[in-house]
Amino acid sequence: MSVFTIARLELLIARRNMWVATAIILMGLFTVVLTLAGGAPTGTLGIDPLTVALTSITTLSVYLIPLIGLLLSFDAIAGEAERGTLALNLTYPMSRGEILIGKFLAHLGVLGVAIAVGLGLAVVLTIWQHGMTDLSFLPLLKLFGTSIALGAAFLGIGYLVSSLVRQTGVASGIVIIIWLVCVVLYDLGLLGALVADDGGAFTKDVFPWLLVANPADAFRLINTPEVSVSELASGIGAAGGVSGAAGQSASLLLWPVVALFLAWAAFRRIEP
């Protein structure tokens, strides 16, 4: 029961702090722009217009969802430690695991609503522009599910940082660095290694696994439909094929679990 009590309070705080509104506006605004902009050139290509929209939204989500996840979570433990509310909370009859899960459920709820609003808007706009014909909804469900998993992974990472550093200022700096590494620098690094390796053992055996090891890349691969891959993406897509959908799903499922577990382990060591 404590879990839901915590979740309820965190939701209330998230609403007060305008996090709910911010997340929804961010996701909604970007998906609307991408759906409208993405729809313009593809009218005659004969590709399912929803697929086109979702491809753009996937690319956007790789950046936006980890960012929102980290911003929601970096304050969770460090903020309480700094405000001085942590000690009192920890004297209440509930475990630290319950506190963490409660916060996680609330934050995941905020993310889920924002993602659902964004995707919902994309569907409505697509139908409005192209009518109901030839829309495949399976990729939509897949994108929603994997977006939640991606968000959960970065929430867990945010809690881990928050438990380890205990100062919100430091925590916010670290999560921005983590975000930058995961969504930008990691890929650049791999690309550099690929170029240097020039089709050697690294490219065949190590690279595909390193690629899916990053939840952001696993998310990108699992949601990239084969018809829409560009020339550059096709190389990465082919490499992703080695690890396969199983590897990508495993990455997206394992990351939230492992990150939350590590966050819990770090949180348990805190003496307020």
Residues at the interface with another protein (CB under 8 A): 1-2, 5, 8-9, 12-13, 16-17, 83-85, 87-88, 90-95, 271-272
In whole angstroms, the minimum distance from the beta carbon of 22 to another protein comes to: 14
Instruction: Tell me how far apart the terminal alpha carbons of the chain are, to the nearest angstrom.
Output: 24
Q: What's the closest the beta carbon of residue 12 comes to another protein, in angstroms?
A: 7
CA distances (Å), origin 161, targets 6, 31, 71, 82, 196:
20, 29, 12, 14, 33
Residue 80: CB minimum distance to another protein, A: 8
- Residues 111 and 68: beta-carbon distance below 8 Å: yes
Residue 13 Cβ vs another protein, minimum distance, rounded to whole Å: 6
Q: Please, which residue, 5 or 234, has the CB nearer to another protein?
A: 5
Q: How far apart are CA 111 and CA 98, in angstroms?
A: 20
Nearer Cβ to another protein (92/128): 92
Shorter beta-carbon distance to another protein: residue 2 or 59: 2
Give, for 61, the enclosing helix (H) or strand (E).
helix 49-73
Look up residue 229 and give its two tokens.
Answer: 């891959």
Q: Which is nearer to another protein, 102 or 208 (CB)?
A: 102
Tokens for 266? 């770090």
CA distance 271 to 50: 51
In angstroms, the CA 179 to CA 63 distance is: 8
Q: Which residue has the tokens 């609403």?
A: 15
Task: Specify the residue, 8 or 204, whose C-beta has the smaller distance to another protein.
Answer: 8
Q: Which of 20, 50, 76, 65 is nearest to 264 (CA)?
A: 76
Provide the phi-psi class of 94: left if phi over 0, else alpha when psi is between -120 and 50, else beta: beta
Minimal CA–CA distance to 147: which of 61, 240, 31? 61
Q: Least distance to another protein from the beta carbon of 85, Å?
A: 5
The residue (of 19 and 154) whose beta carbon lies closer to another protein is: 19
Q: How far apart are CA 31 and CA 122, in angstroms?
A: 6
Min CB(65)–another protein separation in Å: 25
Q: How far is CA 228 from the centre of its chain?
A: 22
Q: Report in angstroms how near the CB of residue 72 gets to another protein at its nearest.
A: 15
The candidate with the shortest Cα–Cα distance to 105, out of 260, 218, 266, 219, is: 260
Identity of the residue, 18 or 124, whose beta carbon is nearer to another protein in the bound complex? 18
Q: How far apart are CA 190 and CA 220, in angstroms?
A: 15
In the bound complex, what is the minimum distance in angstroms from residue 2's beta carbon to another protein?
6
Nearest residue (CB) to another protein, 95 versus 230: 95
